[in-house]
Amino acid sequence: MSEPHGKTYRPWDPERYRHEAQSPAAKLPEGDLVFFLLDTVSQLDLQRVYAPYEEETRGAPPFEPAMMVCLLLYAYCVGVFSSRKIALACERNLAFMAIVGQERPDFRTISDFRTQHLEAFKTVFVQVVRVAGEAGLVKWGNVSTDGTKIQGNASRHKAMSYGYMQKDVARLREEIETLVTQASQQDEAEDAALGSRRGDELPAELARREARLATIEAAMQRLEARAKAEAEAERQRRVEADAERQRTGQPRRGKIPKPVDETPPDKAQSNFTDPALHIRQMNHKGWEYCGNAQVSVDGTCQIILACDVSEASNDKQQAEPVAHATLTTLAQAGMALPQEAAGKPQAIVATLDNGYYSEAAVEALETLGFDPSIATGRQKHHVPEAEASDAPATAQEHMAAKMRTPEGKALYARRKVIVEPVFGQIKEVRGFRRFVLRGLEHIRGEWRLVCLTHNLLKIWRYGKAPSVA
């Protein structure tokens, strides 16, 4: 529970709001989500949220941070993500009024608070996972990892392809050179007529073009760095494929591939609104700039143990970072892993789809203490799977053989009822399909807030409210 603070805040007394005439408590069900959150927030350690206000002595007293935390958590739980809509709900919605009373923050206050305290919600996320563990909702029977595309707050019309960037850079440099020449000639004429000026004035047209040039060149550098990383990954893939062909004695099929090119293709795009996002194809919706949102979910009650957002276009490199984040959350939450008879930590069963498979990913997961079950390829529906004729010789064959066993099939089949429904609950039920914030770190913080509130909803629905100290 949060300790008393020396800072003076605006009055906040939710107990009084509950019991006033025509109060929310008189109109809302006794076990309503808003009352669960009011009780839960009072048990959380919010020192990191309070800390920025404790040393600030200027201005009017701020809103009570615990109230603002509860307001954001409730809003995200019920699918209200816009700060303007949250502010409006504080004036018209009984559940929101049960939180804020007569002290109703405006949309700018709500927006600034959310952005300022995204990092502080890391500790809140861990505390909620700890509550879930203490309630018996986390048991490590099967930790499943998956990713989904979440649309970013970036316009498709504020983007440019690499090919067009090259043309635009050449045009801008030519125009800047012309303007500099004109400005120099004008300065000489004015100096002769009016005397010397400071000499640091920059014509507005020249400043605008130079700023535009700097923006485009930065976007080109991002695309070039991305292309270089993708080229290195392709080289590694070819080395592994060549080694596999030499081991099996199979000849190369098809044409010899062209040398790896580190230059971005002309159609590669970068967005100026949110450069961290990449354009991706959406289901039945064309193309949008999206983040690759990742979660690891415990199979007992669908509690999210770790979450992140990556700018990567696929999940191939995400298995190890998400596994690291899962272990970090469990350690910070003080949740000891189950032990074997010999006293060693028992390996955590982890299921992932074929988008995560690589030999490096399997090795990394096993090193971290996981027992991974990862599909090595897509299995077509209603088509019997071919049995392996020889003993498995490679890591991929070992994993494929493991997944063909009855135990492996049963374990992997659970993945689709563990992690995939979580995305349905977030996207379809709560309607979170687009990030409100911009910038990769802000997006990560907002996704953490979404996952945190998912866990709170699970605890509430299972009737496992934290006990009052």
CA distance 338 to 54: 41
Tokens in use for 392?
């498995």
| Mean pLDDT per 10-residue interval, the chain, length 469 residues | 65 74 76 93 93 80 92 96 96 91 91 95 96 91 92 77 78 79 71 54 72 78 78 80 77 80 79 74 74 94 95 86 94 81 77 90 91 81 52 78 89 92 95 92 95 96 66
What pLDDT, on the 0 to 100 scale, is given for residue 270?
76
Task: Give which of 184, 405, 227, 379 is closest to 313, Cα–Cα.
Answer: 227
CA distance 173 to 176: 5
What pLDDT, on the 0 to 100 scale, is given for residue 435?
93
What pLDDT, on the 0 to 100 scale, is given for residue 353?
92
Identity of residue 161: S
What pLDDT, on the 0 to 100 scale, is given for residue 342?
62
Q: Are 322 and 296 in contact (CB under 8 A)?
A: yes
Q: What are the start-end ranges of the H helices in 249-295?
A: none
What pLDDT, on the 0 to 100 scale, is given for residue 262?
81
What pLDDT, on the 0 to 100 scale, is given for residue 452?
96
Identity of residue 102: Q
Tokens in use for 136?
């018996």
Q: Report in angstroms the alpha-carbon separations of 60 from 10, 49, 63.
A: 9, 18, 9
Q: CATH: 1.10.3430.10, 3.30.420.10, 3.40.50.300, 1.10.10.10. Which one for 127-155+276-461?
A: 3.30.420.10
What pLDDT, on the 0 to 100 scale, is given for residue 393?
66
User: How close are the terminal C-alpha atoms of the chain, in Å?
Assistant: 8
What pLDDT, on the 0 to 100 scale, is given for residue 176?
79
Alpha-carbon Rg of the chain, whole angstroms?
Answer: 28
CA distance 396 to 359: 7
Domain ranges of the chain: 14-117, 127-155+276-461, 159-271
CA distance 260 to 102: 64
